[in-house]
Structure 1
Amino acid sequence: MTQQDYLKDLSEIKDLMNKSSRFISLSGLSGILAGTYALIGAAVAYWLVTTYSNGVLILDGWIFRSCLLTLVLVAVFSIITGILLTTRKAKQQGAKIWDSTSKRLVLNFIIPLVVGGLYILIILSQGKYGQSGGLMLIFYGLALVNASKYSIGDIRYLGYIQLVLGLIGAWQPGFGFWLWVLGFGVMHIIYGSWMHFKYDTK
């Protein structure tokens, strides 16, 4: 057996080990659609605030509740789309959708999100909502980085970007909305497109 054959075998073994320890069936298209949902939701929220409250968001008003409902719908549609497209991709690859690796992925992703969501709800109940956009980006970025070791490693770069945008939002709360649009909307579309052409079209 030549050295080239040995290197080929080692590469195949490494690939098999990587597949067994990482969930690699994430769909790039789901990222594109999640970003699209976020942009639509942001447009709806912006229209509500600028049309009915002169640009001032009051926490105990119906406009705030409508914006919160819009945010929840964006999250729900993004999760459902991600599950459906990822399941379809896993079936096409002949991979298991729910095994020990995917369970670790979900657990490591969900813990920072739940903690962050509860913290944001606490500060909103205290009337402190100026940094909520930045905090959403920070906790989401932490969730992505935390989960990246059990999935496609490239998602950690999206996590780093979200963390930077979130810190800027915490430093400059007045830009929180637009940074949220950039992080959850634009960056998801860019990242999803890159992942789609890098992995899904092979």
Structure 2
Amino acid sequence: MEKEQYLNELEEIRTMMSKSSKFLSLSGYSGISAGVIALLGGSLFKYYYWGSRYQLGKEDLIAIIGLGVITLCLVLALTLFFSWRKGKKQGLSLWNSQSQQLLYHMLAPLIPGGIICLHLVWNNNLPEALAMSQVFYGLALFSSARYTIGAIKSLGLIEISLGLFAYFLPQWADLFWLTGFGVLHLIYGGLMQKKEA
């Protein structure tokens, strides 16, 4: 009996330490919504701009950047909403030292990556922009994984790999992007949601 009580106490301590050092409010619905939005945004991009045999004009490039910004803003808004909702159910604050660390380690690669991707789009290097967006996003996930659930690290490594494939196989960069940002997020979010249920 004492051994069982001791093990239960150890498990409680481990859970408390995990809650204090990791951002646990990330919801499976965040991944699912990110995947759906990425597939919609990426499909619009593919339909209108991918494979154009002509040099895209500045108006087209501005539209592509706008589509990217709208897609990113929708993903962020839904991620925050679902994380806030999950945190509220668990009695956790969305803005705490763990989420601050997570954000800090994500933004370190995302900000320079975003600047590079904007430059690539503006100079009509769309395949490279798609590839680099995946590489830098993967780096952001990998570097922030220690502040949230462990599966983020694996997702980051897969995103980096897909980005490298996209870089060296630019004719399929759009498909690698849709797979990484769309399909993988749907799978990852679905698995997370299944664990939560």
TM-score normalised per structure 2:
0.93
Please report how far the alpha carbon of residue 171 of structure 1 lies from its aligned counterpart in structure 2 after TM superposition. 1.4
8 Å CA contact retained: 1:57, 1:64:
no
Partner of 2:95: 98
Which SS does the other structure have where 1:130 is aligned? helix
Give the alignment of 1:187-202 within 5 angstroms. Answer: 187-199=184-196, 201=197
Give the alignment of 1:1-202 within 5 angstroms. Answer: 2-49=2-49, 55-56=52-53, 58-199=55-196, 201=197
8 Å CA contact retained: 1:27, 1:196:
yes
Aligned AA (2:142): V
8 Å CA contact retained: 1:112, 1:139:
yes
Please report how far the alpha carbon of residue 194 of structure 1 lies from its aligned counterpart in structure 2 after TM superposition. 0.5
Task: Provide Cα deviations, 1:14-45, integer angstroms capped at 9, x if missing partner.
Answer: 11101100010101101111111111111211
Please report how far the alpha carbon of residue 57 of structure 1 lies from its aligned counterpart in structure 2 after TM superposition. 6.2
Task: For 1:39 and 1:195, locate their aligned partners in 2 and report how far apart those are by CA, in whole Å.
Answer: 19
Aligned AA (1:145): F
CA RMSD of aligned residues (A): 1.7
Task: For 2:82 and 2:62, locate their aligned partners in 1 and report how far apart those are by CA, in whole Å.
Answer: 30
Aligned AA (1:157): S
8 Å CA contact retained: 1:49, 1:56:
no
8 Å CA contact retained: 1:49, 1:55:
yes
Q: Which segments of 5 or more consecutive residues in structure 2 lack a partner in the other structure?
A: none
Task: For 2:145 and 2:71, locate their aligned partners in 1 and report how far apart those are by CA, in whole Å.
Answer: 23
Identity %: 34
User: Which deviates the most, 133-142 or 152-161?
Assistant: 152-161
8 Å CA contact retained: 1:113, 1:139:
yes
8 Å CA contact retained: 2:105, 2:143:
yes
Aligned AA (2:72): A
Task: For 1:111 and 1:15, locate their aligned partners in 2 and report how far apart those are by CA, in whole Å.
Answer: 29
Task: For 1:59 and 1:114, locate their aligned partners in 2 and report how far apart those are by CA, in whole Å.
Answer: 25
Aligned AA (2:187): I
Please report how far the alpha carbon of residue 167 of structure 1 lies from its aligned counterpart in structure 2 after TM superposition. 1.0
Task: For 1:188 and 1:108, locate their aligned partners in 2 and report how far apart those are by CA, in whole Å.
Answer: 20
TM-score normalised per structure 1:
0.91
Task: For 1:21 and 1:124, locate their aligned partners in 2 and report how far apart those are by CA, in whole Å.
Answer: 38
Which SS does the other structure have where 1:131 is aligned? helix
User: Which deviates the most, 84-93 or 1-10?
Assistant: 1-10
How many residues in Structure 1 have an aligned counterpart in Structure 2? Answer: 197
